[in-house]
A and B are shown apart, each in its own frame.
Chain A
Amino acid sequence: QVQLVQSGSELKKPGASVKVSCRASGYTFTSYAMNWVRQAPGQGLEWMAWINTNTGNPTYAQGFTGRFVFSLDTSVSTAYLQISSLKAEDTAVYYCARLDYYDSSGYADYWGQGTLVTVSS
């Protein structure tokens, strides 16, 4: 069965960096793109980026360039999100989600369990 397993919660100080992993299993990793979605406390879902797992090419939402780096290691079927120069407003749950992309459309059919990143001094 398809599973996306994310790394555990993180507590970081402002200015530090964090790397969240998302390990996929139960399907061919390069057959589906990968989404990253942020959810701040008490807020809605905010799409961050999707990554073509064949080329590694990301498509970013506005506001998620610069400090946010999305990468892959296809040898271990894992996607990564790295955030640098963390700010308090980066405190959120970060989800990876498999993207079923077709005919210039798509949706997230499987989701990781989420990783809570807390930024606090």
Chain B
Amino acid sequence: DTAVSQTPKYLVTQMGNDKSIKCEQNLGHDTMYWYKQDSKKFLKIMFSYNNKELIINETVPNRFSPKSPDKAHLNLHINSLELGDSAVYFCASSQDSGVRYTFGSGTRLTVV
């Protein structure tokens, strides 16, 4: 009965690889997000999709591309991974302009 689930929970990969993180929510929310939490624990929004449309696209490298096949899924694809991409990535979803907001449990990405 997980509300917002991310896979994988841990991801270790080499520099230059391409990887994807998947996110799914079963709450019926209409907006989904990706946040990045760096090594200093700072959380920053990357993207937001509302009903499959991109509504927030913060300044992130073009190597990061979100994909939303339907409003219950928002995947994050990262090309040509770099050491600085190592972080915890959180998916979240919300309804009613964010009054109800739920985070996933995070994906720890380590680039070696």
**Are A and B subunits of one complex?**
no
Interface set of B (CB-CB < 8 Å, partner A): none
What is the interface of chain A, defined by CB distance below 8 A to chain B? none
